[in-house]
Amino acid sequence: MCESIDALRLNFDPDKLFMLSCLLAFLMFGIALNLKIADFKRIIEAPRKALAGILSQYVLLPLITYLIVITLKPCPSIALGIFLLGACPGGNMSNFLSHLAKGNVALSVTLTATQTILAPLMTPVTFAICANAYPPTVQLMQEISINVWDLVKEIVIILGIPLVIGMVVNSKFPSFTKKIVKPIQIISIVLFLGFLVFTFVNNYHIFLDIIGTIFLLVLLHNGLAMLGGYTMASLFRLDFKDKKCLTIETGIHNAALGLIIIFAFFHGMGGMAVVAGWWGLWDLVSGFIVALTWAYLDRRKQNLTA
């Protein structure tokens, strides 16, 4: 069964890949419209919080991911998809969900920006370490033969450049930015969800063949990622708002970046792509559930103390 899953390839031509890259750049531009130089200064002002977030994302989560894979032993292509999503930076919805959950939004913005800047280095390195530590994926990686520098360049182009442009626009035209930031973020989210649906429709038979295999795997991975973020915040003795933030930041990932990497460097490998596509949908569902639950409990607590 694994051989057939690993051999699957999603129907995805170069024009669609270019559109997805532009979409992710647009998503990143929308995130950057909320960023200021002061957001990075918070790393110096609150190094303990920033360190907790970085360790949660790039140390604890890869460890959790690896332990899940060696325990459940999914097919190699599915394992590669889990490794890749675990190495991707936080998603564009994490700031909004932290706000919804009454978490530390300022910390969320700082961590999103920091993870994005680190992504060109940390995403390929973290992914390569995990993939080369698990024998079944080592063989698959050797068959594909990825150019690491091309991967770094791709991430810089679709994440780094829009980040800089968005921050410049925010700095030079603050009044204009306030008017466009919310519409752009809403449009980008709708477009991304539409893209996922479009990809599913064009490859529904592959999704239906694999979804049963990856459903619980993604559910477990996402749940443990959130639990890991909360645990890391607890170990660093952060307050409850910070714990909410780290939970969401560690659990929400940039599935669009994962899909671009999969189609550009792994030829649309079915197991990987379905993991990334399902993760992109599920982490929004789980993120909203967690954020709305915390928001409800916060309102209830305020009503009881009023």
pTM, full prediction? 0.86
The residues facing 253 across adjacent strands are 90
Task: Give the pLDDT confidence of 118-168 residue by residue, as tens digits.
Answer: 888 899 899 989 999 999 998 888 777 677 788 788 888 888 888 888 888
Amino acid making up residue 198: F
Domain that holds residue 138: 2-305
pLDDT at residue 234, as a whole number: 96
CATH number for the domain spanning 301: value is 1.20.1530.20
Instruction: Tell me whether residue 56 is exposed, middle or buried, using C-beta atoms within 10 angstroms of its C-beta: 0 to 12, 13 to 18, 19 or more.
Output: buried
| Average pLDDT value for the chain | 85
Task: Give the pLDDT confidence of 78-102 residue by residue, as tens digits.
Answer: 999 999 999 998 876 888 899 899 9
Task: Give the pLDDT confidence of 58-78 residue by residue, as tens digits.
Answer: 999 999 999 999 999 998 999
Question: Of the ranges 196-210, 212-226, 264-278, 287-301, which one carries the lowest mean pLDDT score?
Answer: 196-210
- Give the whole-number percent of the chain exceeding pLDDT 70: 93
* DSSP code at position 9: B
User: What are the CA-CA distances from residue 63 to residues 5, 189, 202, 273, 287 (Å)?
Assistant: 25, 30, 34, 22, 21
User: What's the Rg (C-alpha) of the chain?
Assistant: 19
pLDDT at residue 101, as a whole number: 92
Q: Which residues lie closer than 8 Å to 235 by C-beta, 6 or more apart? A: 52
Q: Which residues lie closer than 8 Å to 49 by C-beta, 6 or more apart? A: 42, 104, 107, 236, 238, 242
Number of separate domains in the chain: 1
